[in-house]
Amino acid sequence: MAERRAGRLATGGPSGTAPALPEHPGGAHSAAHGGAWLRDARRARTLSLVTLAWLGAESLLGIAAGLRAHSVALIGWGVWSLVEALASLIVVWRFTGARMRSADAEERARKAVAVSFWLLAPYLLVHVAHDLDAGHRAATSVLGIAVTAVSLVSMPLLGTAKRRLGARLHSAATAGEGTQNLMCALLAGGVLAGLALNGAGWWWADPVMAVLLAAVAVREGLRTWRGHSCCH
């Protein structure tokens, strides 16, 4: 009888099934975070650091050119570069130290990137309203054209690479940062077109571009908050 009782304890009960073992809380994440995942995470952090350095220069030049030409779209694009820099900082934070393996860190980073999208819209709308009320008109800016042209070429490369890494890492924060880089390139093209149209006498092109920029920022912030950035 004692032997039968001992046998039931060893096998998990009369049915002979093995006893349930407590699940290791980090087991699933440890299995997912293999060598390839860690290499991609380091690449994401490195790309974010490179982007951060460029955006620092880009934002200063863009804002300076915008203030000189009184272009709300160019100023907004320079401020957008600062927002992108914030997203890059968030991704660097996400993939540094113990946070690299933390699902909670990814969740917080994703929401922080979403909020960074929303920082731009109110500023742009208020700036457009003020300029229209004051009757300000944007002038052509050679510096603005040069800086936005460089961004138009470089940002698609960074953005595409980060979105691919975000998909492999299942990181909406990384993909969201990549989306911001792609939007930066598109908006650089729009700002370039607006500056050219300003020179042709179409003064309304600049504020229209700024309003479109605000609308896109709100939309992409919502998508990132909901975790859609690395799936679309």
> Tell me: the pLDDT tens digits for 69-84?
888 778 878 887 887 8
pLDDT of residue 42: 92
What residue numbers bound the domain in which 90 lies? 35-225
Residue 26 lies in a domain: no
- Who's near 229: CB < 8 A, 6+ residues apart? 110, 163, 166, 172, 175, 176, 178, 179, 220, 223
* Res 136: pLDDT: 64
Which DSSP category does 18 fall into? P
Please report whether residue 11 resides in a domain: no
| Residue-by-residue pLDDT tens, the chain, 232 positions | 555 554 454 444 444 444 443 333 343 444 456 789 889 999 999 999 999 999 999 899 989 988 888 887 788 788 878 878 888 999 999 899 888 878 888 888 888 888 887 877 887 788 778 767 766 666 778 888 888 899 999 999 999 999 999 999 988 889 888 988 888 888 788 778 877 777 677 777 777 877 887 888 888 888 878 876 544 4
The pLDDT assigned to 232 comes to 41
Residue 3 lies in a domain: no
Is 115 within the bounds of a domain? yes
pLDDT the model gives residue 230: 44
Cβ neighbours for 24, distance < 8 A, ≥ 6 positions apart: 30
Query: Quick count: other Cβ atoms within 10 Å of Cβ 106?
Result: 21
pLDDT of residue 11: 46
The reported pLDDT for the residue numbered 125 is: 83
Q: Does 29 map to a domain?
A: no
Q: What is the CATH number of the domain that holds 61?
A: 1.20.1510
Residue with tokens 């920082």, as numbered in its chain = 119
pLDDT value at position 160? 95
Residue 100 neighbours by CB under 8 Å, 6+ apart: 33, 38, 41, 94
| The pLDDT of residue 186 | 81
The answer to whether residue 92 sits within a structural domain is: yes
Whole-prediction pTM value? Answer: 0.67
Residue 231, token pair as written in the block:
């799936």
Does any domain span residue 15? Answer: no
Q: Is residue 27 part of a domain?
A: no
Count structural domains, the chain. Answer: 1
Angle at 89 between CA 228 and CA 111, to 5 degrees: 35
**Tens-place pLDDT, residues 159-184:** 999 999 999 998 888 988 898 888 88
DSSP labels, 1-12: -HHHHHHHHHHT
